[in-house]
Amino acid sequence: MSERSHMETYYHPKDLGKFADMGKEAPELWKKFLEWYNAVFQEGALTEREKALIALGVAHAVQCPYCIDAYSTACLEKGSTPEQMTEAVHVAAAIRGGASLVHGVQMRNQIDKLSM
């Protein structure tokens, strides 16, 4: 493969299918992760559909393209509508935006400290 093709993108959609390869060097840790992960997404106080919507919002907040593909599909398969999924992304975006903005208070504190 040429250097140029290596440089095209860091993310490859097919790499999601290789996620289990992460267990090759640390099988015990991978097993524990999977058990915990699967338990997290089972129906509990929250429904599987609600959990998938939260995951979709978080996937956007951490900007993981693999997670966005996986949980867009999962949300549809759990019965969420595109409108509900879009609102979940807005929630993630609002928290990210708010998180930036609230740090403005720190900025203001520093301004106050340094200014006459």
Partner 1 sequence: MALPTLLNTRSPLAGAAAQRATLASLPLARTFESAAAAAGYDPLTTTSVSILQMNVGKRCNQACHHCHVDAGPDRTEVMPADVVDACLRFLEASDIPTLDITGGAPELHPSFRDIVRRARAAGRHVIDRCNLTITRLPAYSDLPEFLAEQEVEVIASLPSFTSRQTDAQRGEGVFDDSIAALQHFNTLGYGVEGSGLLLNLVTNPVGAFLPGSQASLEADWKRELKRRHGITFNRLYTITNMPISRFLQFLLDSGNLQAYMDRLVAAFNPAAVEGLMCRYTLSVGWDGRLYDCDFNQMIDLGTAAEAPQTIFEATPESLAARRITIGPHCFGCTAGAGSSCGGATT
Distance linking the first and last C-alpha atoms of the chain? 60
Which of 23, 30, 48, 91 lies at the binding interface for partner 1 (CB under 8 A)?
48
Which of 30, 49, 54, 95 lies at the binding interface for partner 1 (CB under 8 A)?
49
Rounded Cα–Cα distance for residues 103 and 107 (Å) = 7
C-alpha distances out from residue 56 to 36, 62, 68, Å:
18, 10, 6
Residue 113 phi, psi dihedral angles, 5° rounding: -65, -35
Q: What SS3 state is found at 44?
A: coil
Q: Which of residues 16-45 bind partner 1 (CB under 8 A)?
A: 43
* Minimum CB distance to partner 1, residue 74 (Å): 9
Q: Measuring CA to CA, which residue among 17, 40, 14, 19 is closest to residue 30?
A: 19
Q: Which of residues 62-91 bind partner 1 (CB under 8 A)?
A: 73, 76-79, 81-83
C-beta of 61 vs 89, nearer to partner 1: 89
* Minimum CB distance to partner 1, residue 81 (Å): 5
Encoded tokens for 9: 């993108």
* Minimum CB distance to partner 1, residue 21 (Å): 17
List interacting residues with partner 1 (CB under 8 A). 43, 47-49, 73, 76-79, 81-83
